[in-house]
Amino acid sequence: MDRRLNKFLEKNYNDGETVFIRNAGANINSLKETKALIKKADEIIILPHTDCGAMGVVERALNGEKLPNGLDTLISPFLGKGKLTRAQLEQLNPVVQETALKSLTNAKITSKLIRTEELNAPPSKDNVAVMTLPSTRRYSEFVPKEMMYKTFIIQSQGNDGEIDALIAKEFLNVSEIKRITL
């Protein structure tokens, strides 16, 4: 859902046919209502990234920090793995998410850790988020050009995005979350 990935994803993966599901931490466990869509896929590419706010939240939880309720589906897959740094969690996360997906589908599953430092995204403090259904739509069709690096995009079904909205508001300096219909 990270704002820094929008242009990269549109250029490299958003071909108008690929359905995008985006959430905090590429967290498969939080996608209860979106699982039916996942089960229909022939191929799934998991694209977690470095400097991940969600993995920062997991790191804080593993270090014993008291966090808001509602983050269990993000944190629970990493419990019992010891105290890991954010960077270690980011390396482990693709494996954790692939394992979760393999229990849901027979689709071809691959993952690639995106290095946000290589994307040259400008810093931003005035961030917003949009919540919408999984879609093949190009981000430039619904995010204005001047907002592309300021907009976190949450794409899931039903209430699956609630944990992502919580993370966006509490940990990622998102001032406003809008629900949009494409």
- Which tens digits make up the pLDDT trace of 30-78? 999 999 999 999 999 999 999 999 999 999 999 999 999 999 999 999 9
> Degrees (nearest 5) of the Cα angle 4, 11, 50?
35
Name the residue ranges covered by the structural domains of the chain: 3-179
Spell out the residues 6+ positions from residue 97 whose beta carbon is closer than 8 angstroms to its own: 26, 27, 28, 46, 48, 111
Task: Identify the band that residue 170 occupies on the pLDDT scale cut at 50, 70 and 90.
Answer: very high
Which amino acid is it at 82?
G
Nearest residue to 101 via CA among 35, 145, 19: 35
Decide: residue 92, CB within 10 A, 0-12 exposed, 13-18 middle, 19+ buried.
middle
- The tokens for 69 are 């309720």
pLDDT tens digits for 84-120?
A: 999 999 999 999 999 999 999 999 999 999 999 999 9
Q: Which two tokens stand for residue 151?
A: 């907009």
Strand partners, 49: 114
The DSSP symbol for 19 reads P
